[in-house]
Amino acid sequence: MFTKYPEFAAEDARYAYAVGRIRALETKLLDRQRFDRMLDAQSADEALHVLQDTDYGVHMGELKGASEYERVLAAERRVAFDLFEKLCLDKPARSMYFSRFDFHNIKVLLKARAAEQDFSGLLSSQGEFDHSEMMEIFSEESFEKLPQHLGEATLEGMEAFQSSDSPRLLDIAVDGLEHEYRLNLAYQLSNDFLIGLLRLKADIHNILTLYRTKWLGEDFRLFETATLSGGFLEKERLRQAFQEPWEGMPARFSVTPYIEI
């Protein structure tokens, strides 16, 4: 059964405080008027000054100039992450969000290992697994110390690169396992909204991959490798669409909500 938008689950009384807290924070979000003032500013410094009396202003005292605005965004991002971690009472839900940074770090370190270069500046500190410890594990090649899902992603990514010498196939291998891990967490939570959301994302990814590989004239095996599992669209429908000429491809999605896009 297809869905255009995942249904929200029944209200959970445990999150009453979290909902109230978020509703209060929503009143402090940047509005259209403030964005217009930033757009009309004559300089970057003037645009940044517009944020002085917002929550972003707390982080602006140490800036040497507007060119360091990324530090303000990074600081406020950390505040948001800390709040999410505090308010989210379900560990699988926290893992669903923060694990993406762990998988990102796996890809960075695998590519650094393959290129024999230092890519540590690209690592994220927001993951569940300490990125410094992950660097040490890669340095020692003691991959068994990684959590199971990250260890599997490391070995799959390594194998994909060794067999193809392609960073793209490395990404595909790790991304596929990341999707499976997050979808499994959603099923653990029995959360229909998160399950539906991830299944929709898989379908959109697969449709984009279908058209991209078709447009570039790439191999069908690459398309199959790059598709994500667990979506609403059957793999057979995608295979048939790949075999169609351009004008016949939309018909394969005529009975799905995706025909509109």
How many H helices and E strands in the chain?
A: 11, 0
CA distances from 122 to 72, 76, 118, 125 (A): 18, 19, 9, 10
**The model's pTM:** 0.88
Which ranges of the chain have pLDDT less than 70? 1-7, 9
Q: What is the pLDDT of residue 121?
A: 93
Q: What is the pLDDT of residue 5?
A: 65
Q: What is the pLDDT of residue 84?
A: 96
Q: What is the pLDDT of residue 1?
A: 59
Q: What is the pLDDT of residue 3?
A: 65
- Give me the amino acid identity at 3: T
Q: What is the pLDDT of residue 55?
A: 86
Q: What is the pLDDT of residue 215?
A: 92
pLDDT digit string (tens) for 110-144? 999 999 999 999 999 999 999 999 999 999 999 99
Q: What is the pLDDT of residue 239?
A: 92
DSSP character at residue 228: P
Q: What is the pLDDT of residue 135?
A: 97
Q: What is the pLDDT of residue 12?
A: 85
User: Exposed, middle or buried, 105 (CB in 10 Å: 0-12/13-18/19+)?
Assistant: buried
Distance, CA of 184 to CA of 148 (rounded, Å):
14
The per-residue pLDDT of the chain, averaged, comes to: 92
